[in-house]
Amino acid sequence: MASAKGVLPPGLIIRSGRWVWTTLWQQMMAKMAPPSQAGDYLRPASQFRHPIAPDSPYPPAAQRYSLIVSYGCPWAHRTLITRALKGLEDAIALIWVEPSPERGGWVFTTPFRGCQTLAELYRQAYPDYRGRATIPVLWDRQQATLVNNESADIIRLLNGAWQEFATQAQVDLYPEPLRAAIDSCSDRFYHTVNNGVYRCGFAQTQAAYDQACGELFDTLDELETRLAQQPYLWGETLTLADVCLFPTLFRFDAVYYGLFKCNRRRIQDYPALSRYLSQMYHLPGIAATCDLARVKQDYYGNLFPLNPGGIIPAGPDLSWYQADVGSPAKSPES
């Protein structure tokens, strides 16, 4: 049947709309998640990596430093977990931000130092900085400056730099004999799991997605085998490697499985990983760092290129990990 006079053919409308949306999507994704030439997501490196040490410009002290964090961010979640396990709540305060797609980045829930956005605070501390304003941030209130914005550095600092102020100083998540192994393990799982889910979700070509997805689930299969034989990644000892893995597993079924297309299997489909996730969740202080409703809001509500309608799904039911499945062989205090 011929189309009505003056009405564009449906096929032309669909092709035009698809071209416009694809072009805009590629432009938005390139801003949010810069790709390689092959379409693989490239996470920019952190720029501020100063230590906390007695002989540095930033010596350890109670109530001098703050962490700028958000419940939704898995990298910030690492620092919240380490702070809780070490008992540093009274020594290191928290400053909260939340994502704003309208502002194109993190905004303070309460204005801080006259700044509404994290980008403004970065520029206040470093006027020449033109990079991304990321969290977590270790902030020095005394010098009014950004000390460190690399989560891997910050969790090591939280484990050791504030020992005299930690109420759980006996907890050592980075023991000297295991440090090389922990670093190697964390680096590998960072690429294929922690950042691997983002490489799936932010992939801009089929080939980039297929590679990232294959590496992700190959590693999850390996982790399932390892954790079927021991409570933590390094046997009986809870380490920073576990602290790095947990935030990704916690978000996996609710966010990465659907929104990021990591949908070969759920964590719930892995018996050992499920037990591990639940046992980690029930360690002292960790549950208080987990806000799944906020996590879903931050991902589904704010990643417009991946979820244009902003609709937040009702499921899945993740009450299974909140049920205590039994304690690990040793608590972190052991």
Averaged in consecutive runs of 10 residues, what is the pLDDT profile of the chain (334 residues)? 59 61 53 65 80 96 98 98 98 97 91 97 94 95 97 98 98 97 93 96 94 98 97 95 98 98 98 97 96 96 88 92 62 58
Please give the pLDDT value at position 37. 66
Q: What angle do CA 273, 41, 185 make, to 5 degrees?
A: 40
Question: Using CA atoms, how far apart are residues 200 and 263, in angstroms rounded to an integer?
Answer: 10
Does the active-site annotation cover 73?
yes
Q: Could you say which of 58, 65, 198, 256 is catalytic? A: 198
Q: Are 251 and 295 in contact (CB under 8 A)?
A: yes
Q: Are 279 and 326 in contact (CB under 8 A)?
A: yes
Does the active-site annotation cover 190?
no
Q: Which residue has tokens 């694809």?
A: 22
Please give the pLDDT value at position 24. 52
Options 1.20.1050.10, 2.40.30.10, 1.10.260.40, 2.60.40.1180; which CATH number does 176-322 get?
1.20.1050.10
Question: Using CA atoms, how far apart are residues 201 and 24, in angstroms rounded to an integer?
Answer: 17
Question: Using CA atoms, how far apart are residues 68 and 82, in angstroms rounded to an integer?
Answer: 14
Fold of 65-165: Glutaredoxin (3.40.30)
Please give the pLDDT value at position 89. 98
Please give the pLDDT value at position 329. 45
Q: Choose among 307, 301, 326: nearest CA to 98.
A: 301
Q: Are 135 and 129 in contact (CB under 8 A)?
A: no
Please give the pLDDT value at position 40. 75
65-165 with 176-322: one CATH topology? no
Please give the pLDDT value at position 46. 80
Q: Where are the domains of the chain?
A: 65-165, 176-322
pTM of the entire predicted model: 0.89
DSSP 8-state symbol, 46:
P
Q: Could you say which of 71, 73, 185, 213 is catalytic? A: 73
